[in-house]
C-alpha cells in the first residue's frame, strides 16, 4: 500500500507545472511626495508625462493599464502593452501582469508566468522610496533572458521616473 501511495504521489507531482520562482528588484528614491509618485504611475496623464506618450489606465482590480512607448503609435496598435491590475492599495502598492504583449516582444511564451509589484514608501524628507519587484521568472533559458530584459527595463524605468522629478 505504501508503494502505491508513493508511486501515485510521484506521478502527480511529476506532471504538475513547475512554478517560476526567481525575482528581480529595482529600488530608488524619487524626489517627490508619495501622492505625486503614485499619480505618475496610476493615472493616464501621470504615465504620459514621463514614460509613455500613449497611456490609458483603468485603476481597479482586473482593470487595464494600456500603454504605447512609440510617439508615432497609438493605443490598440501592435506596439501596445496591456497590463492587468491584479491588486492595489492607493499610494502603497500596485501589482500588475502583462495580459497582452507588444507584437515584437521576444518572450511571448513566458510573459504570462511573471508579474510586477511596485511598493511606494514615504521617506522622512517627503520623498518616495520606490521598490519594483518582478516575480515569477523560471530557470529555463528563455525565462532567464526575459529576466535580464526586465532587470534592465525596470532600472531604466526607475531612472526615468527619478529624472522626471529631479529638482
Categorize the per-residue pLDDT at 2 as very low, low, confident or very high, splitting at 50, 70 and 90: very low
Rounded to the nearest 10°, the torsion over CA 79, 84, 88, 90 is: 40
Q: Give the sheet arrangement for strand 81-89, strand by strand.
A: 22-30, 128-137, 115-122, 93-100, 81-89, 64-68, 54-57
pLDDT at 3 over 80: no
Contact 97, 86 (CB under 8 A): yes
How far apart are alpha carbons 130 and 41 in whole angstroms? 11
Taking domain 20-164, whether its CATH number is 3.30.930.10 is answered by: no
**pLDDT band at 22, cuts 50/70/90?**
confident
Q: What mean pLDDT is reported for the chain?
A: 90
Q: What is residue 20's predicted lDDT score, i.e. its pLDDT? A: 60
Residue 21 confidence class, pLDDT cut points 50, 70, 90: confident
Each residue's pLDDT tens digit, 77-107: 999 999 999 999 999 999 999 999 999 999 9
Strand partners, 128: 30, 122
Dump pLDDT digits (tens) for 106-122: 999 999 999 999 999 99
Domain boundaries, the chain: 20-164
pTM (2 d.p.): 0.85
Strands 93-100 and 81-89: antiparallel
Say what the pLDDT of residue 19 is. Answer: 54
Give, rounded to a whole angstrom, the gap between the first and last alpha carbons of the chain: 71
Rg (CA), the chain: 19
Amino acid at each position: 500500500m505504501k508503494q502505491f501511495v508513493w508511486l501515485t504521489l510521484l506521478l502527480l507531482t511529476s506532471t504538475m507545472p513547475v512554478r517560476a520562482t526567481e525575482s528581480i528588484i529595482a529600488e530608488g528614491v524619487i524626489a517627490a511626495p508619495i501622492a505625486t509618485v503614485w499619480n505618475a504611475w496610476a493615472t493616464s496623464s501621470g504615465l504620459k508625462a514621463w514614460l509613455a506618450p500613449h497611456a490609458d489606465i483603468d485603476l481597479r482590480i482586473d482593470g487595464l493599464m494600456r500603454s504605447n512607448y512609440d510617439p508615432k503609435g497609438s493605443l490598440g496598435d501592435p506596439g501596445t502593452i496591456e497590463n492587468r491590475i491584479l491588486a492595489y492599495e492607493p499610494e502603497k502598492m500596485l501589482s500588475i501582469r502583462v495580459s497582452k504583449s507588444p507584437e515584437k516582444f521576444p518572450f511571448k511564451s513566458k510573459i504570462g508566468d511573471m508579474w510586477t509589484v511596485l511598493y511606494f514608501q514615504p521617506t522622512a524628507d517627503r520623498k518616495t522610496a520606490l521598490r519594483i519587484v518582478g516575480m515569477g521568472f523560471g530557470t529555463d533559458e528563455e525565462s532567464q533572458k526575459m529576466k535580464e530584459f526586465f532587470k534592465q527595463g525596470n532600472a531604466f524605468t526607475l531612472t526615468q521616473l527619478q529624472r522626471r522629478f529631479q529638482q
